[in-house]
Chains A and B, each alone.
Chain A
Amino acid sequence: MKHVKTINHANLKESAVKGGCGECQASCQSACKTSCTVANQKCERKQK
């Protein structure tokens, strides 16, 4: 395509079906902690 370049291969929808195992780090978004944007976290699911 000439007018658009897609820079990732995200497939959030697929991940919804396969995900949710709950083994990844609990996150806190508050300024007083190791606050983070959830989107940078690592997935820890064993088999994807």
Chain B
Amino acid sequence: MIHKYQLNGYYIVLDVNSGAVHLVDKLFYDLLDDVDEAHLTEHCPQQIVDKWSGCYPEADIRETYAEIVSLHQADQLFSVDDYDRFAKMMTPSPVKAMCLHIAHDCNLRCQYCFADTGEYMGHRQLMSFEVGKAAIDYLINHSQGRHNLELDFFGGEPLMNFDVVKQVVEYARAQEKPHNKLFRFTITTNGVLLDDDKIDFINREMSNVVLSIDGRREVNDRVRARVDGRGCYDTIMPKFQKLEKARRNGAFDQYYVRGTFTRYNKDFAEDVLHLNEMGFDQISVEPVVADPSAPYALTEEDLPEVFAEYERLANIMIERAGTEKEFNFFHFMIDLDQGPCAIKRLRGCGCGNEYVAVTPDGDVYPCHQFVGHDDWKMGNVFDQSLDQERKAQFAAATVYGKEECRHCWAKFYCSGGCNANSMQYRGDILKPHTLSCELEKKRVECAIMIKAALAEQA
């Protein structure tokens, strides 16, 4: 399978199964329409020469055809799909990552919150240390031979229960040696309650921190409002800046400012640039996923504008590459050479298999987005239970287990999308949310185009 596209003046061809990316000329690009992938003859068939000889010199056509054949022989073009056998071997894995819902409560009322403004269709509740401790034991117990364990403090707003965050970190650290594990902590916060003490703790202990802010003041405050309706930009921006500055000298440098764009700000590249101007260089701004009836929801209709905006952003990033104003846009980061192995790419999302979420009651769910959907409950940390049948179902949710993904050119970049969105919008974890697919494919095209442009410039 190949995927070819034109963007920003480049002709790009992806060989899906080998992962090779080719920058080609127009003749090469055109000829690909006529070559028969299954029966690639050694010499250029006469009808191909005849078809194109009005546009290109015959010698060039033959020469290009020969290049196609030689790339095929090198297994870099029309390479065969033999991943099915690996997909079939994808059995359930140990649990190694956990999302700890430290607070089912929030001090903001963001309109697009998937978590029901922190309540998760339940009631406002903070996790006790007892539950947190049992969750750590549960993770260690279910992680078997895995060494690296990930624990994400999530909410609601985790800073509303920060004392328990500290206690859990302390407890988990004490378990590392006896159990031969390494914990990596991460936290996602809206920033409202950040102070010097919390910044210090986060920068010392959390290998990654996600700072939620949508970009420009008016964009952020329209959607990310407090209980009384006031916006939060002026409170959080200086705190985030302080955290980021302090982090530069710390043990961990990873962080992201992350925002959501909606129908209200389809010019979201401006928000990315704004965040960069405010001093951040690790930026993630992502499309809202919402019921189409919501006023802020993105729909099929919005795609052309959103696509154009992604292209605009990609061009700005090419211009800025190598300059002081360079920044990372999370969704355009792609490693074409040293990225993860193909096995990892077969099943991107670890939900319900190597990743679980734990609620303030100690209930275990496949991931944070399944919390509140009672049918999906998988166990409880106090009795160590874990529904193995459910786990096997998620383990089988590879790109080869999903019919649409199997035939999708982006499968090894996307790895099958979000199971929770699939469940919510199409009623089946094996059926990807179509709008998200369109957006993902556009982002991959842009990300690869950026690589191509930079390779050309070099």
Residues of chain A whose beta carbon lies under 8 Å from any beta carbon of chain B: 1-13, 15-16, 18-20, 22-45
Which one of A8, A12, A32 lies within 8 Å of B342 (CB-CB)? A12
Which one of A2, A9, A34, A43 lies within 8 Å of B186 (CB-CB)? A34
In the assembly, what is the distance between CA of A22 and CA of B335, in Å? 18
Having A2-B67, A22-B96, one finds 5 other A-B pairs with CB under 8 Å, namely A2-B63, A3-B60, A33-B210, A37-B414, A37-B447
Chain B positions within 8 Å of A30 at CB level: 289, 349, 369, 418, 420-421
Cβ of B21 < 8 Å from any Cβ of A?
A: yes
Chain A positions within 8 Å of B338 at CB level: 42-43
A37 touches B444 (CB 8 A): yes
Shortest beta-carbon distance from A9 to chain B in Å: 6
B19 touches A12 (CB 8 A): yes
A33 touches B188 (CB 8 A): yes
In the assembly, what is the distance between CA of A28 and CA of B402, in Å? 17
B413 touches A39 (CB 8 A): yes
Most buried by B among A11, A27, A32: A32
Given known A29-B417, A30-B418, contact A35–B330 (CB-CB < 8 A) = yes
Chain B positions within 8 Å of A28 at CB level: 349-351, 355, 367, 418
Interface size on B, residues (CB 8 A): 88
In the assembly, what is the distance between CA of A9 and CA of B20, in Å? 7
A7 touches B355 (CB 8 A): no
The residues in B between 115 and 150 inclusive whose CB is less than 8 angstroms from any CB of A are: 115, 146-148, 150
In the assembly, what is the distance between CA of A16 and CA of B344, in Å? 9
Which one of A1, A13, A33, A40 lies within 8 Å of B335 (CB-CB)? A40
A35 touches B355 (CB 8 A): no
A9 touches B337 (CB 8 A): yes
Which one of A7, A23, A45 lies within 8 Å of B451 (CB-CB)? A7
Cβ of B22 < 8 Å from any Cβ of A?
A: yes
B368 touches A32 (CB 8 A): yes
Which one of B67, B150, B256 lies within 8 Å of A25 (CB-CB)? B150
In the assembly, what is the distance between CA of A32 and CA of B63, in Å? 49
The residues in B between 343 and 364 inclusive whose CB is less than 8 angstroms from any CB of A are: 343-345, 348-351, 354-355
Q: Which of B24-32, B231-239, B267-275 contacts A (4 or more CB under 8 A)?
A: B24-32
